[in-house]
Amino acid sequence: MAPLLSIKNLHVTFNTYAGKVYAVRGIDLTVEKGETLAIVGESGSGKSVSSKAIIGLLPKQSASIEQGEVLFEGRDLLSLNKSEMQKIRGSEIAVIFQDPMTALNPTMKVGKQVVEGAMKHQKLSKKEAHHLAIELFEMVGIPNPEVRINQYPHEFSGGMRQRVVIAMALASKPKLLIADEPTTALDVTIQAQILDLLRDIQKKTGTSIIFITHDLGVVANIADSVAVMYAGQIVEKGKVEEVFHNPVHPYNWGLLRSMPNMETKGKLYSIPGSPPDLMNPPTGDAFAPRNEFALSIDYEKAPPTYAVSETHTAATWLLHPKAPNINYTKQSNDDLDEEEISAVNMNDTLLKVSNLKKHFNLPSKQVLKAVDGVSLEIRKGETLGLVGESGCGKSTTGRTLLGLYEPTEGEILYNNTPIKEGNKKDFSQKIQMIFQDPYASLDPRKKVEDIIAEGLDIHGLAENKQERQEKVQRLLKVVGLQPDHAQRFPHEFSGGQRQRIGIARALAVEPELIIADEPISALDVSIQAQVVNLLKELQKDRDLTYLFIAHDLSMVKYISDRIGVMYLGAMVELAEADELYKKPLHPYTQALLSAVPVPDPKIEKTRERIILEGGLPSPVNPPQGCRFRTRCPLATEKCAEIPQWREVEKSHWVACHYV
């Protein structure tokens, strides 16, 4: 049987003012009917560009397809003209974009948006279209479809909007659905809902899906086959079990090993370095400089694609008969046992927060209770993880602790001294922050040297220019950057490098407590491990205490000693990391843990999830009593009372009536 879609030797380049960027460098792919193909890769690996090339959505002025063909049911899509392409895009291939917030037209009723395309291509009457819209809304699991189709996008939550976008894509009964990171902008519990939905839809309609993502857990969950991309090329592809259980490309080894699972201890494996600059793609294997098993031929010649099995291929010289044999699984275990974490002395409290509240007054006279009564202690030398979905107030908590926001109520004690408006500056040297977005957290007009030295300048920590320079150089070395990077500007660095600059800036004033606000969520998998390892190392060397805010539970579990779970501005559970994962007590924690996708297709495809209904209620008007009761599977009338925050077992706190 001929495949639905096959891409042959596709090359895409972008013309920028600085030169030509070779974004996609010869990829071959096939998608069978009814199959889900996942394309995995880091940002800039060319995965989105390839998918856009399929549907002809590359920007005309700058992008050009140098060579190759894209055969869709035997027709070459690249040779079609505009109107033919439009027909295919509307009826046979549909796309789901990453951000549901911008994919819908805010001034149009959603029902109309959903069927607009179908009406045009299938020539439906108004009445038929109306029925189709309701049918589609039912299919994607939007309750009350009759009412909902007449609403506007702003009346939907993020997860619901993504459902609308999916309904829109399904309206024309496409044979191929291209989903470009459809769950990246969503929270884990919502992500679990959407993945479930996509799988369900595929079963019902038999459409093929190209699923683009950077999250291996999601891949294991949804994909039948996988293509791993690196630097514009496919380095390994095959059935999902083959790629996960029998990986042969060293990049894939690195990716799989750098994702911690719930049991990972010791040092995390990381792929060092940064991905290559595709303006001057390296000769030979693009991954060689970061590959610990790089052969000398890797630096000279690009590897051909070898077949491992009928469905499994990889491009690496390691598969050449003359190449040495490297045992992947053994390697990975060795590494993980290497080191044991030293027990932290958990007796001294560094920071104590009691009943912290932060309310924002909205222009509409409403009050947004971002943080509403959080109490916690951070002990000297420990890492306290803080997890929760977006909008739960975890970042606000962090920023309030740092003094960026004035608390509405409550007390913050640092080493038994209360932090107030007047003495804030004394603490700015002791408490520092690492920010989420490495692209927004560095001033684009300043040199790296000046960015790192800002704290030194403010607190007068460097007496003269030479000392300032030396300190900056030392910090650059600590975070693994090169001395000549000091004279460069932020826009020249990759995401991971920038985040390391941000860490160096925070370290410059020699703080005791670092609040890390989602420091890795904007980074690629291979880079995340680098940053987490760096943070761990620094903690050991410098006796740092961390408050680690994140939504990636496996990473939080890996780095934290204790973990607090937040929901809608309040803490629902707090316990030692192992304890929390082994014995989650609060129903929200249980749901959250079960929603995390694990990078192992065997586990993913068999395990039962607790899927939470609906989305997060608005913090402007939270539910009375227990905030979680609107989504809680255990909720009863008693939950209308506020549950007490109590210590159920030794150092295991929870706020729920039913524990």
Cα separation of the two ends of the chain: 56
Question: Please, how many CA atoms are within 13 Å of residue 446, restricted to the half-sphere of its CB?
Answer: 15
Q: Tell me the closest approach of the beta carbon of residue 348 to another protein, in angstroms.
A: 24
Rounded CA gap, 659 and 652, in Å? 11
Q: Tell me the closest approach of the beta carbon of residue 412 to another protein, in angstroms.
A: 15
Footprint on residues 485-504 left by another protein (CB under 8 A): 485, 487-489, 491-493, 497, 502
Token pair of 183 as six digits: 């769950």
Q: What Rg do the C-alpha atoms of the chain give, in angstroms? A: 26
Rounded CA gap, 505 and 454, in Å? 7
Residue 18 binding another protein, by CB under 8 A: yes
Q: Tell me the closest approach of the beta carbon of residue 490 to another protein, in angstroms.
A: 9
Rounded CA gap, 472 and 507, in Å? 10
Instruction: Please pick, from the candidates 295, 462, 504, 525, the single residue that binds another protein as defined by CB under 8 A.
Output: 295
Q: For tokens 């390691």, what's the residue?
A: 318
Nearest CB to another protein, comparing residues 64 and 355: 64
Nearest CB to another protein, comparing residues 237 and 505: 505
Instruction: Please pick, from the candidates 62, 67, 423, 636, the single residue that binds another protein as defined by CB under 8 A.
Output: 62
DSSP-derived secondary structure letter, 551: S
Rounded CA gap, 84 and 638, in Å? 61
Rounded CA gap, 113 and 298, in Å? 51
Question: Three-class SS string for 455-476?
Answer: HHHHHCCCCCHHHHHHHHHHHH
Q: Tell me the closest approach of the beta carbon of residue 155 to another protein, in angstroms.
A: 26
Footprint on residues 260-289 left by another protein (CB under 8 A): 272-277, 280, 288-289
Instruction: Please pick, from the candidates 87, 425, 477, 605, the single residue that binds another protein as defined by CB under 8 A.
Output: 425
Residue 45 binding another protein, by CB under 8 A: no
Footprint on residues 342-381 left by another protein (CB under 8 A): none
Instruction: Please pick, from the candidates 74, 106, 321, 422, the single residue that binds another protein as defined by CB under 8 A.
Output: 321
Pairing type for strands 349-361 and 409-414 reads: antiparallel
Q: Tell me the closest approach of the beta carbon of residue 288 to another protein, in angstroms.
A: 7
Nearest CB to another protein, comparing residues 72 and 251: 251
Instruction: Please pick, from the candidates 121, 175, 249, 505, the single residue that binds another protein as defined by CB under 8 A.
Output: 505
Residue burial 134-143, b: 16+ Cβ < 10 Å; e: rest: bebbebbbbe
How many residues bind another protein (CB under 8 A)? The answer is 72
Nearest CB to another protein, comparing residues 34 and 480: 480
Q: Tell me the closest approach of the beta carbon of residue 509 to another protein, in angstroms.
A: 7
Footprint on residues 297-316 left by another protein (CB under 8 A): 297-300, 304
Footprint on residues 428-447 left by another protein (CB under 8 A): 428-429, 431-433, 435-437, 440-447
Residues in contact with another protein, shown as a per-residue x/- string from 396 to 415 under the rule CB under 8 A: ---x--xxx-----------
Residue 324 binding another protein, by CB under 8 A: yes
Residue 578 binding another protein, by CB under 8 A: no
Nearest CB to another protein, comparing residues 96 and 294: 294
Which residues on adjacent β-strands are paired with residue 387? 550, 565
Rounded CA gap, 259 and 279, in Å? 29
Contacts of 115 (CB under 8 A, 6+ apart): 124, 129, 130, 132, 133, 136, 171
CB neighbours (10 Å) of residue 184? Answer: 15
Q: Tell me the closest approach of the beta carbon of residue 436 to another protein, in angstroms.
A: 7
